[in-house]
A and B are shown apart, each in its own frame.
Chain A
Amino acid sequence: MPDPQLMRRAARCYARLGWHAEAARCHRAAGDHQYAARLWERAGLPAEAARDHLAARAFDRAAWLYVHEADDPAEARAVLAEAADAVLAAVPMAAAEFTASDLTLRLVLARCDVAEGRPVREARAAIAAVTDALARADAVPGHVARDLEDRAVATAEAMHRPDLVALVFAAAVRGQRPGAAARWDDWSRRVLHVPLVLPPATAVVAEEPAEPAGRPLAG
């Protein structure tokens, strides 16, 4: 294995040149798989990024890149199977843990279903579960929530279901996720060509039990 320090310096030179793919290659050789993955993503090479995520044992990111960016759902499923094998082999798990719903995983599987043209029932259920989790501020921590939101939105968009996208954003706003309203507004302008008008934050929270979906879009 080449000397990691020098490889990192090479990578830094390439990064300063803006040659992300070369820099990623050097970081991979130095064993910095997380950096490498980020640079591959920036270089527009999702399959390579997924390989490095896999090497860094970030199975969910690898699988998501395979299915969403590289359009390779079979590989994504294989990655998840490998992840399950790796973890199950290391830790004997109770049945409760084994079957516990894992939202990140469900979203990846849902995206696989959409990509493969399978029935979207499970995908809808996964997005509904994510929506529930996003709406409750204590259900998922912030950094996971952002990933969940992005992936749920991407999955819903792949399903051509802007209504589900709106549900996800609405849940994020209700759960007071930082910046959710701005992201919703961006999406609305980009897709619907309509700026988004939301009632004040307190009103949204108060309205939660009533009709969370669709209403803010009417503005």
Chain B
Amino acid sequence: MPTPRRSVGGKRPLPPDPPAGADTDTDAEPPVVIRTPLVRPPRAPRPAPSQPAPEEPAAPAGLAPLPEPPDPGDVEVAVRFDRPAPALGYLGQLTDGEAREPRVLRGESHWWVAAELPLALARELAELGGGRCHVPDGDRLLLDPGHGPGPDPRLADLVPAGSLTEVPVVELVRAAGLRARDGARPRQVHVLARRERAAALVRRGLDLGLGTSFRPVRAAPLFHAADGDGRQAGTLTEVRLEAVQRDTGLRAELPPSLLDALDRDRNVLACRAHGRLMVQARRWSPLPDHQLAAVLLPTVEAGVLVLADEPHGCWLLTPMTEFRNGWEIAQLDPANRLEPGDPALTGPADDSAVPETERIQVVRTRQTGDPVDAVLLRTGDLRLLRALFEGRPLAELAFVVHGGDRHLLIAPGGVRDRIPVGQYLVALSPAPSNAYVAHGWRTRPRLPAAAWHALYEGIRDRALVLEENRTLVFDLTTRRPVWELWAGDLPEFDEGVPDGVPDELARMDASDPVAAAVPARGAPRRPSVPSGGGGGVAAASENVFQRGRRMLRRLRGREVDWREAAMDAEAAGDFEVAADLLERHGELERAAKLFELAAERKDPGP
């Protein structure tokens, strides 16, 4: 609302007529508006008094605002605070909305904040922090009664304005200090440490998969301590740890345990950064960071300000270099040093210089929770499989590949069930997996999935089980369904026809040239139906149909079982087909796993 600014310190005129609609508002409850997503910040200011609210439900008792004097426009108001922190908070609220220019004054034992603003607003804000409003009157300050049009010079307490001296806002910031309070977990912290600590910190950051960078800085004490507490300029290392966005759409955060550890460690200082201002993590000034930066940064020409609690103190940092990536120091070890090229290393004529490779070893690992992709069985274990599998769903799916003294139990989508026999194997890559290693072991060096895929391309029909001293090779084409281990011969067949009838049928078949040409096995043959005139052609065509049907039936009989098909599709890397087969046959867990693999393979990474 445009109101004429009053001259400061002059006689305050009588309030003009209240503008229509500005002061008729006597409610605290604005109209109910439901919106999603939510838009009000947690610390929203109270409803602005000038906000019109036409249709209004009756406000509940207890929230009705104090009746407000007619708005006389902005006046100079000086607010007295006993303690610096609320004074700074008040200052922050003043400068948050509009570009007012408050001044900070120092009395004998009080802090004063003076600014031009509506008296009612000043009362509201000051009351929150326990401040007392004063209005200048000549060279005096009159205590505001807190209601009505303003202080009456005849009744109010007086404070001589001359006893106050103006001080920079920085003084108030210093006096208010920092308070410990939890906030949202940050995405990034800057840690100041001496260099012997910094190296370990960088390694830790890299271990945790954080974006880690560092730079040496020159640190000089800020606010040049007059009491000479012995702090002198020196160099420190600034390590920047940054959470890396992994999942799309989710917030990246630093691990809370790391922040806790940094907070407890008194030899390092973790800060959050706001431009050229850094404030100790989990410490907050009453002033928000951006206002703090606006107040403090003009006081220094260059460098980064660090505000921190005891025992760290406040520092002015001058970066000595740009940020360098953390791995530059973490991977520095003698083996990687750069030496002048040795002529003896290069081959005499051919320039196919292949770097020395390391033999792949299988070593112990502490990793747990691997899935059971396959099981390695001893010969004696095979006898147990019947007791474990008979009547279980896995018997439908699993295959055994026989080897010398070890046998491999596999299933499309992996075995998954933790059966109480054999040695569990985990596939070394999610790609078509034909290289396995036992639980509790891994390869050194670790190889990416692409490497195993290349291996797979070379030995498509073999499965490898990597052990410490040997590698077992299984021929996957010799796999047999697991139920064959306990399924023996069927009982003797009895054809169930009287003696002599088979001979008779065979004689009748022999008289039928077409049927004789295509003998069908298995199904008992039906004698051809004799028919009348022209029956020869009809019978022949009928027999062609029958033959077709029989061939079809035989082909169906040879059709690949869906389990075989799933196994083949998985081995060929066609996870989607394998998963589809498994899903249709109710093997949901394996199907889901394969769908996931297929999804990850179909579009690897953004």
Chain A residues with CB under 8 Å of chain B are: 1-7, 9-11, 13-14, 16-17, 22, 26, 28-31, 33, 51, 54-55, 57-60, 63, 74-75, 77-78, 80-88, 93, 95-105, 108-109, 121, 125, 128-129, 132-133, 139-141, 144
- Secondary structure class of chain B's binding surface, majority of residues: loop
Q: How far is the CA of A95 from the CA of B98 in the complex (A)?
A: 13
Neighbouring A residues of B46 by C-beta, 8 Å: 99
Q: Does B583 contact A (CB under 8 A)?
A: yes
Q: A78-B183, A132-B57 are in contact. Are A100 and B37 (CB under 8 A)?
A: no
Identify the interface centre among B36, B63, B606: most chain A CB within 10 Å of its CB: B36
Neighbouring A residues of B370 by C-beta, 8 Å: none
Would you call B249 and A74 a contact (CB within 8 A)?
no
Interface residues of B in 575-606 (CB under 8 A from A): 576, 579, 583, 588-589, 591-593, 595-596, 598-600, 602-603, 605-606
Binding-face segment, B26-34, B216-224, B439-447: B26-34
Would you call B37 and A59 a contact (CB within 8 A)?
yes
The answer, among B38, B51, B185, for a CB contact under 8 Å with A95, is B51
A128 to chain B, nearest CB (A): 5
Would you call B34 and A140 a contact (CB within 8 A)?
yes
A-B pairs with beta carbons under 8 Å apart, 17 shown:
A1-B605, A3-B600, A9-B579, A14-B592, A17-B588, A33-B249, A55-B249, A74-B184, A77-B42, A83-B39, A96-B30, A96-B52, A98-B44, A99-B48, A101-B32, A102-B38, A128-B60
9 additional contacts (CB under 8 A) given A109-B42, A129-B29: A9-B579, A10-B591, A13-B583, A78-B183, A81-B42, A96-B48, A132-B32, A133-B32, A140-B32
Would you call A80 and B38 a contact (CB within 8 A)?
yes
Q: Does B337 contact A (CB under 8 A)?
A: no
Neighbouring A residues of B57 by C-beta, 8 Å: 132
Would you call A88 and B39 a contact (CB within 8 A)?
yes
Q: Does B41 contact A (CB under 8 A)?
A: yes
The answer, among A51, A57, A100, for a CB contact under 8 Å with B31, is A100
Neighbouring B residues of A28 by C-beta, 8 Å: 247
B597 to chain A, nearest CB (A): 9
B236 to chain A, nearest CB (A): 30
Q: How far is the CA of A6 from the CA of B592 in the complex (A)?
A: 9
Neighbouring A residues of B185 by C-beta, 8 Å: 78
The answer, among A30, A63, A102, A108, for a CB contact under 8 Å with B34, is A102
Would you call B60 and A125 a contact (CB within 8 A)?
yes
Q: Does B349 contact A (CB under 8 A)?
A: no
B514 to chain A, nearest CB (A): 49
Q: Does B470 contact A (CB under 8 A)?
A: no
Q: How far is the CA of A140 from the CA of B247 in the complex (A)?
A: 36
Q: Does B100 contact A (CB under 8 A)?
A: no
* Nearest 6 A/B pairs, CB to CB: A10-B595, A13-B592, A6-B599, A84-B41, A78-B184, A55-B249
Tell me the nearest residue of chain B to A128, going by C-beta: B60
Q: A60-B36, A83-B37 are in contact. Are A3 and B602 (CB under 8 A)?
A: yes
Would you call A54 and B38 a contact (CB within 8 A)?
no
Tell me the nearest residue of chain A to B181, going by C-beta: A74
Would you call B588 and A16 a contact (CB within 8 A)?
yes
Neighbouring B residues of A60 by C-beta, 8 Å: 36-38
Would you call A103 and B63 a contact (CB within 8 A)?
no
Neighbouring B residues of A33 by C-beta, 8 Å: 249
Q: A81-B41, A102-B33, A104-B34 are in contact. Are A3 and B603 (CB under 8 A)?
A: yes
Would you call B41 and A80 a contact (CB within 8 A)?
yes
Tell me the nearest residue of chain B to A62, going by C-beta: B37
Neighbouring A residues of B602 by C-beta, 8 Å: 2-3, 6
B171 to chain A, nearest CB (A): 30
Would you call A100 and B588 a contact (CB within 8 A)?
no
Q: How far is the CA of A55 from the CA of B249 in the complex (A)?
A: 5
Neighbouring B residues of A14 by C-beta, 8 Å: 588, 592
Q: How far is the CA of A173 from the CA of B478 in the complex (A)?
A: 72
Q: How far is the CA of A109 from the CA of B420 in the complex (A)?
A: 52
Neighbouring A residues of B38 by C-beta, 8 Å: 59-60, 63, 80, 83-84, 87, 102, 104-105, 108
A146 to chain B, nearest CB (A): 12
Q: Does B393 contact A (CB under 8 A)?
A: no
Would you call B40 and A22 a contact (CB within 8 A)?
no
Neighbouring B residues of A129 by C-beta, 8 Å: 29, 32, 60
Tell me the nearest residue of chain B to A4, going by C-beta: B599
Tell me the nearest residue of chain B to A9, going by C-beta: B595
A114 to chain B, nearest CB (A): 15
Interface residues of B in 216-266 (CB under 8 A from A): 247-251
The answer, among A13, A77, A93, for a CB contact under 8 Å with B39, is A93
The answer, among B36, B45, B48, B603, for a CB contact under 8 Å with A2, is B603
The answer, among B44, B248, B583, for a CB contact under 8 Å with A31, is B248
Would you call A81 and B184 a contact (CB within 8 A)?
yes
Q: How far is the CA of A104 from the CA of B589 in the complex (A)?
A: 40
Q: How far is the CA of A16 from the CA of B590 in the complex (A)?
A: 13
Neighbouring B residues of A86 by C-beta, 8 Å: 37
Q: How far is the CA of A82 from the CA of B42 in the complex (A)?
A: 10
Neighbouring A residues of B342 by C-beta, 8 Å: none
Tell me the nearest residue of chain B to A80, going by C-beta: B42
Would you call A99 and B599 a contact (CB within 8 A)?
no
Neighbouring B residues of A121 by C-beta, 8 Å: 62
The answer, among A9, A17, A95, A140, for a CB contact under 8 Å with B589, is A17
A74 to chain B, nearest CB (A): 6
Would you call A103 and B34 a contact (CB within 8 A)?
yes
Would you call A99 and B184 a contact (CB within 8 A)?
no
Would you call B45 and A99 a contact (CB within 8 A)?
yes
Neighbouring A residues of B37 by C-beta, 8 Å: 57-60, 83, 86-87
Identify the interface centre among B46, B185, B588: most chain A CB within 10 Å of its CB: B588
Neighbouring A residues of B39 by C-beta, 8 Å: 83-84, 87-88, 93, 97-98, 102, 105
Neighbouring B residues of A101 by C-beta, 8 Å: 29-33
Would you call A58 and B36 a contact (CB within 8 A)?
yes
Neighbouring A residues of B63 by C-beta, 8 Å: 125
Neighbouring B residues of A59 by C-beta, 8 Å: 36-38
Would you call B251 and A54 a contact (CB within 8 A)?
yes
